[in-house]
Structure 1
Amino acid sequence: MDSRNQAECGSAKHKGRFSENIYINKSLKNKFDSSDMDADSPPAPQKKSMSRESFHRFSKLLLTSFIILLLLLKILFAIALITLFKNHPQLLDEKAIIKELNYTELECTKQYSLLKDKVWSCCPKDWKSFSSQCYFPTIDTASYSESEEKCSSMGAHLMVIHSQEEQDFITKILDHKAAYYIGLLDPGHRQWRWVDQTPYNESVTFWHPGEPNNDKKNEQCVVVNHRASGWGWNDVLCSSKVNSVCQMKKIYL
């Protein structure tokens, strides 16, 4: 083989080794690159896990803050209500009275009262005001017990009269043609008693002449009615169907 051929052969062998080296190097590079990628890939799930953990922490913190805020608002609301009703107890009293008596409206007048923080005196609507009392003449007739029960259902009782002024006041608003039960009755032996347990004062009574009829001891209830001599009291049977006058104390606000 001549020198030229030897040179070409040597050159070919050299190229072959070089190509092989390149292939080996590329394989190693790919292997190294693959191993590098495998080594770097685990952090990805770790980042995801850390993100979820942060989200859960934030959610718990937000929920806790919301619960605390609700509790604070509830406490503040309770304190506000206590303060309001402590400073204005009449609000509770008025609501309790209105609920108990089934009244939705009150008619009030401003006054200068000795009672602390009480500047309004009120009666239920359509009731008549006099002194410290409210009065309501009924328009339907009933027996004494039925009349007293009706007054009681309104938080009142049958009228009690202790003065000429009170007698004059009520008779001015009554119907001359009707008779009205008042809260005076005889439980026996002509021992007259007022329904509110106040003393019966014989010196302040307004009986019609000849009344009460002592010969009719079964007439144990009393009405106020009008005769030729004017208004006065008359004892009657408690089963008599007549009108009545209810009375209750004023509501002070």
Structure 2
Amino acid sequence: MALPNIYTEVNFKNQPFSSGITSDSSSCTASDSSSVLPKKTSIHKSTPGFPMLLLALLIFFLLLAIFFSIALIILFQMYSGLLEGKNTLNQLNHAKLHCVKNHSSVEDKVWSCCPMNWKPFGSHCYFTSRDSASWSESEEKCSLRGAHLLVIHSQEEQDFITNTLNPRAAYYVGLSDPEGHGQWQWVDQTPYDQNATSWHSDEPSGSTGLCVVLNYHPHLKGWGWSVVPCDGDHRLVCEMRQLYL
């Protein structure tokens, strides 16, 4: 009769077989331990000067942009000024000049010229307008022609002018007293000389807003100066210095 299989709990222990085996096991363990260590990685540090160089470039381009902006603004202002000056010159330029041989003491100049339709006398040119306007508007009309309202320097000059005027009209001259305080002043800053005036016998009169016209009084002494309100409409006489070529 066969015997039944009987199983019992058996515990097995690893026994070292030999010193050689132990040595191999230690060697294996050491090798495994070394394989578990993290690999050494190389860290690349950024160059310390790179951010500073980038910052310097940014500042440079910023300053360059500011410089160009300022330059453009200056150029625009210069261009605007040139345009304005050109427009002014276009207004002041005269298409035609009438010139005569110069016999004055002006050096290196052969011809003395006045614009066409202007009359020369002495070193000045004169233009008489038939338009009527206030005193300030009349001065502006003369200014646009490169001139100013008539400034009378002598009796001879006034006689020359009055010979070209209509005795039935009054003509603004460049003399005024805006405040009415007796402080007469010429538009070209010529000093007012009380002893070199041509007032009519009953002038000057008035108190405020005083301007002067050159007019004719048949019962007085002919042509002379009268005071009128500055906002009245009268004809005008413009004066400018002759051009020398």
Q: How many residues are paired up?
A: 156
CA–CA distance in structure 2, aligned partners of residues 185 and 120 of structure 1: 34
Contact 1:219 1:235 in 2 (8 A): no
Q: 1:172 aligns with which of 163, 175, 185?
A: 163
Contact 1:98 1:104 in 2 (8 A): no
CA–CA distance in structure 2, aligned partners of residues 217 and 121 of structure 1: 42
Q: 1:149 aligns with which of 140, 144, 150?
A: 140
TM value normalised by structure 2: 0.61
Percent of aligned pairs sharing the same letter: 56
Q: 1:218 aligns with which of 184, 208, 219?
A: 208
Tell me the residue number matched to 2:36. Answer: none
Do structure 1's residue 122 and structure 2's residue 113 form an aligned pair?
A: yes
Structure 2, unaligned stretches of length 5 or more?
1-87
Contact 2:119 2:125 in 1 (8 A): yes
Tell me the residue number matched to 1:234. Answer: 226
Deviation at 1:101, TM superposition (A): 1.3
Deviation at 1:248, TM superposition (A): 0.3
Of Structure 1 and Structure 2, the greater strand share is in 2
CA–CA distance in structure 1, aligned partners of residues 140 and 89 of structure 2: 18
CA–CA distance in structure 2, aligned partners of residues 204 and 102 of structure 1: 33
TM value normalised by structure 1: 0.59
The 5-angstrom pairing of residues 83-232 of structure 1 reads 99=90, 101-188=92-179, 189-213=181-205, 216-228=206-218, 229=220, 230-232=222-224
Of Structure 1 and Structure 2, the greater helix share is in 1
CA–CA distance in structure 2, aligned partners of residues 137 and 222 of structure 1: 16
Please state whether the residue corresponding to 2:132 is helix, strand or coil: coil
Moved over 3 A (4+): 97-100
**What is the alpha-carbon root mean square deviation over aligned residues?**
1.7
CA–CA distance in structure 1, aligned partners of residues 199 and 164 of structure 2: 19
**Paired letter, 2:102:** Q
Deviations 1:163-217 (Å, cap 9, x if unpaired)?
110111111000011000000000321110000001000000000111011xx21
**Paired letter, 1:118:** K
Please state whether the residue corresponding to 1:225 is helix, strand or coil: strand
CA–CA distance in structure 2, aligned partners of residues 157 and 186 of structure 1: 17
